[in-house]
Amino acid sequence: MQTSKTALALACAAMLTSCGGGGGATANAPTPTPSSTAPTPTPSVAQCSLSDRQDWTLAQLEEWYLFPNLFNASANPASYGTVQDYIDALVKPARDASVDRYFTYITSIEEENAFFEQGATAGFGIRLGYDTSANRVFVIEAFEDAPALGQNVDRGTELLSIGTSEATLQTVSSLMLTGGPFAVIDALGPDTPGTSRTFIVRDSGGVERTLTLVKADYAIDPVSDRYGFKIVDDGGKKVGYLNLRTFIDTAATDLRTAFQAFQAAGVTELVIDLRYNGGGLISVAALMGDLMGKDHAGEVFSTIAFRDSKSFENEDYLFVPRAASIQPTKIAFIATGSSASASEMLINGMQPYLASDSMALIGENTYGKPVGQIALDRAACDDRLRVLAFKVENADGLGEYYEGLADTVPNTCRALDDISEQLGDPNEAMLATALDFLAGRSCTAIAGVTETATASATPIPVRTPTRATREILQRERPNTVQRNVPGIF
């Protein structure tokens, strides 16, 4: 049996980091063997029996788990029918203490590598949110080169009915009333290519239509070609806008391209939109820091620290300016409760290097995940164990933000996620509020309360912020893609 401590990780339930990579530091952990070197072996019945996998899992957690004093080693493996159920029992004390909110889990090596290396996934290619008071479901983002956008299903579209055919259509409101959001998730079917569903939808202009979508393989573009980055003219001032969907390997080229454009235009003020970004690779978060750290070569961007018995693995990620790097004078970070892990690491990492009046959190409080995972592989079974193993701090030693970052950043501005406007549109409420902050215009503080748009009785959500009434539609046990790209279907 061979394990490899591959990339460190952090996300809304997984934020993956590569060993080495950005930040000018190299992790002390052994570098993983690239997944392309050999196919995953066919699991053997004996080696990959449930009891054998449980035994292996227990051994890894006893060695690496960040909170050994919050670990239930006495859990009886025979009482649990899956490896994940056993993991949940082992880490229940940490769950009860709200420091491991389903951050420790078992997944597939093949599936995870495909996502982090290529953005590969399967589905309709939409991100969904639901209204908790009106029992409505909306598309809040659509991905390029995927089935939904190919049929003009985009941000602001409401799902009215779902079925396997026109004859089996059920209204979303009835699904929500009888089974809540999980009934809607069940109606959408498994995320396997070829799964077909018929919908009645209403677009942002109020037009209703019936269509059929078939789930297919596609690759998520981490920086959209439609609105991923642009230079906004705000009253004659140039502001760089960047929307990052997820921290995966394929983001690196797009990020360098965006910052090269910002540099060429003389941009010094930025809006970094992480509103749905559940996390990803620390190496990509560190690259983002590098691109915003032109004047901070060799200074600490972020620090990761393991349990005392593994303290020799602790590591500083340092700023390494790149050819496209700039030195921003102001940054407005757009976030929601789905902004987690690597997103929070980036925001937290930049705090020590901006004046108190030069940085703000726009929108809502973040998720609250100041910890990360390592990956322990058992290739013979295609098992990757994500172990919560380290905590994250910035150069000032600020970490422990389990309640989100709103109470730590110097300025916050409450704003709704206005799905009546496309992402990147200066009229969209969160971006408009971010521009207000950069221009010195007034805003209302988040004040520790998560707030989003309320869907009105009309097809378009109203603009008045209220208490959170729209949430991300998320599976109870999300896979790797769903953890890092919350709400994706």
Q: Which of 26-35, 143-152, 184-193 has the weakest average pLDDT? A: 26-35
**H runs (alpha helix) in 126-247:** 147-150, 172-188
Closest alpha carbon to 365 in 347, 388, 349, 392: 347
Closest alpha carbon to 223 in 190, 262, 267: 262
* Cβ atoms of residues 105 and 94 within 8 Å: no
Query: Within a 10 A sphere around the Cβ of 240, how many other Cβ atoms?
Result: 24
Task: Output 280 or 33, whichever has higher pLDDT.
Answer: 280
First and final C-alpha spacing in the chain:
35
Closest alpha carbon to 107 in 486, 377, 340, 369: 377
Residue-range domains of the chain with CATH: 5-118 (no CATH), 123-219 (2.30.42.10), 229-303+311-368+392-450 (3.90.226.10)
pLDDT of residue 352: 98
Rounded to two decimals, what is the model's pTM? 0.88
DSSP assignment string, 247-265: B-TTHHHHHHHHHHHHHHH
pLDDT of 460 strictly over 80? no
Pairing of strands 120-123, 126-131: unpaired
Give the pLDDT confidence of 167-204 residue by residue, as tens digits.
999 999 999 999 999 999 999 999 899 999 999 999 98
Closest alpha carbon to 280 in 4, 16, 6, 5: 16
